[in-house]
Amino acid sequence: MSKDKNQSPILLKPACRARGGVHPVHNKFSAEQETVKLPLPERVYIPLRQHIGAPCLPTVSVGDHVYVGTKLGDSDAPVSAPVHSSVSGVVEAITPMAGVGGGIADTVVILVDECQQDDPNLHPITVETADDLVKAARDCGLVGLGGAGFPTHIKLKPNQDQPIDTLIINAAECEPYITSDYRACMEDGELIMQGIQTLLRTLQVKQVIIGIENNKPKAIEKLVAIAHEQQDEQNRIRVMKLPSHYPHGAEKVLVQVATGRRIAMGALPASVGCAVMNISGVAVLQHYINTGMPLTRRRVTVDGWAVKRPQNFWVPVGMLVQDLLAHVSLKSAPHKIIMGGPMMGSAQYTTNIPVVKQTNAVLLFDQENDLSAFSQGPCIRCGKCVAACPMSLMPTLIERFAKTNDIENLRRVGVGVCMECGSCAFNCPAHRPLVQYMRLAKEIERKGRT
Ligand code: SF4
Ligand code: SF4
């Protein structure tokens, strides 16, 4: 990077430090491998619910021919996102099927054909206003690509009571192993910057901050160079180097570190004038605007100690994990399979589940390197879980209240703000399953409300 660029106002320092957090080893072994496109499987299995909110109802029937990009399901509910076909072929069945979190969702099974044609009705989209942008985000089925799958159009919807002045692009990717956003920066930089210009123009925000951890110098250099080329007179696009510190990519933590603003319990970033979008999501949205092709495939990191050659793959949404793994060489037998990162992902009991929009990684660990195999001991009251919690919670106390079904005290200590980041469990010398207790505690508190 030239001296000029280092001194430019494009590079921002964090507004403040995050509380708590931990320093897991990064293990980003796939970072420098280009994304590989996989051959298509014989069938794909596309769930009609791949997001937080109402499931979609099918818009196709068994026997219909569909194209790449054809809408398969939609919903009138305000919180939902349509799903589209990732292949061309024939709808064989619409049937309930287990998904990533163990939940059951109606799933469209498509027998893949040989010609793989894009839907002839797809066309570039005109986006002039914020309303056009929100419609585009909804129509392309965009949801949070690394988390729980919150529909993006809701975050972008203009609200006069909560105007957005800052758009934060989340490129932190703070979980170990995962490099799908990093590869998006390296391979889709122009598309991302074009997308940021679209967001800037339509949302009329005062600034765009791209938050990225300082352990990704090549991606930072690339983003800064492109931002230089695309900069407007007010220098509204900035790149913020974040310390490599988990969980900087968590939405609430990122907003606080990037702007110094704290989001209250149960509130969205819009409550403090911010919208947060994942960097790969920006590329998906702009690709849709340029071509009309909705979200039908995604970049997935395949890594872990059982994998011989860690790398990213372009995977059609709905490809079974077992079909994906048929293209992966292993160096040892996998003992544990995690969808997502080792901190927030979920262990799977089967590979007979489809890759969905939110699947950013599939990690395979052998028995020898399964760190969760440590046996848990009693709490020694060291307080390390409290020190690690970015939300200032007391996990050890919450564990106790969960075990006694004490809804009142669970509310009093604010269990609802737990984002299940796993920092407490990571820091616990007694290997207590604190995240599982947090989930249980949240469920007890939620049921107590109904
Ligand atoms: S870190 Fe583990 S051992 Fe220490 S107080 Fe928390 S739960 Fe107890
Ligand atoms: S999982 Fe919940 S309690 Fe544990 S550190 Fe993260 S936010 Fe805090």
List pLDDT tens digits, range 28-50. Answer: 999 999 999 999 999 999 999 99
Quick one: 279 and 366 in the same domain?
A: no
Report the distance separating Cα 169 and Cα 184, nearest Å. Answer: 13
Which atom of ligand 1 lies at the shortest distance from residue 383's CA?
Answer: 5
CA of residue 267 to ligand 2 center, whole Å:
17
pLDDT band at 233 (very low <50, low <70, confident <90, very high): confident
Query: Atom 3 of ligand 1 has which residue's CA nearest to it?
Result: 379
Quick one: 59 and 207 in the same domain?
A: no
Over 60: is that where the pLDDT of 6 sits?
no
What pLDDT was estimated at residue 376?
86
Quick one: 74 and 107 in the same domain?
A: yes
Cβ neighbours around 277 below 10 Å, total:
24
Quick one: 284 and 136 in the same domain?
A: yes
pLDDT tens profile 366-416: 987 766 666 889 999 999 999 999 999 999 999 999 999 999 999 999 999
What pLDDT was estimated at residue 450?
67
Answer yes or no: is the C-beta of 224 below 6 A from any ligand 2 atom: no
Mean pLDDT of the chain: 92
Which of the listed residues 19, 410, 434, 436 should we mutate to test ligand 2's pocket, taking the one with most ligand atoms within 8 A of CB? Answer: 434
Does any domain span residue 246?
Answer: yes
- Per the structure, the complete domain to which residue 79 belongs is given by 43-112
The region of weakest confidence among 134-143, 229-238, 395-404 is 229-238
Quick one: 364 and 432 in the same domain?
A: no
Give this prediction's pTM: 0.93
For position 63, which CATH number holds?
2.40.50
Quick one: 215 and 331 in the same domain?
A: no
Does any domain span residue 33?
Answer: no
Does any domain span residue 170?
Answer: yes
Quick one: 287 and 302 in the same domain?
A: no
Pocket of ligand 1 (CB under 6 A): 379-385, 396, 427-430, 432
Does any domain span residue 68?
Answer: yes
For position 340, which CATH number holds?
3.10.20.600
Tally of domains in the chain:
4
pLDDT band at 101 (very low <50, low <70, confident <90, very high): low
Does any domain span residue 20?
Answer: no
Over 70: is that where the pLDDT of 203 sits?
yes
Query: Which amino acid is located at 91 in the chain?
Result: V
Quick one: 133 and 267 in the same domain?
A: yes
**Contact in structure between 91 and 101 (CB atoms under 8 Å):** no
Higher pLDDT, 99 or 258: 258
Query: Atom 5 of ligand 2 has which residue's CA nearest to it?
Result: 389
Report the distance separating Cα 169 and Cα 152, nearest Å. Answer: 13
- Torsion sign across C-alpha atoms 134, 138, 139, 145: positive
What pLDDT was estimated at residue 372?
65
Quick one: 132 and 280 in the same domain?
A: yes
Please give the full DSSP string across 228-285, using - where no structure is assigned.
HHH--TT--EEEEEEPS-BTTTSHHHHHHHHHSPPPPTT--GGGGTEEEEEHHHHHHH
Query: Atom 2 of ligand 1 has which residue's CA nearest to it?
Result: 428
Provide the 3-class DSSP secondary structure of residue 220: helix
Quick one: 325 and 361 in the same domain?
A: yes
Quick one: 193 and 341 in the same domain?
A: no
CA of residue 425 to ligand 2 center, whole Å:
8
**Contact in structure between 184 and 299 (CB atoms under 8 Å):** yes
CA of residue 383 to ligand 1 center, whole Å:
6
Report the distance separating Cα 255 and Cα 264, nearest Å. Answer: 12
pLDDT band at 158 (very low <50, low <70, confident <90, very high): confident
CA of residue 432 to ligand 1 center, whole Å:
7
Query: Which amino acid is located at 226 in the chain?
Result: I
Does any domain span residue 8?
Answer: no
What pLDDT was estimated at residue 306?
95
Answer yes or no: is the C-beta of 395 below 6 A from any ligand 2 atom: yes
Quick one: 188 and 106 in the same domain?
A: no
The region of weakest confidence among 59-68, 95-104, 181-190 is 95-104
Ligand nearest to the CA of 20: 2
**Contact in structure between 219 and 31 (CB atoms under 8 Å):** no
Report the distance separating Cα 249 and Cα 253, nearest Å. Answer: 7
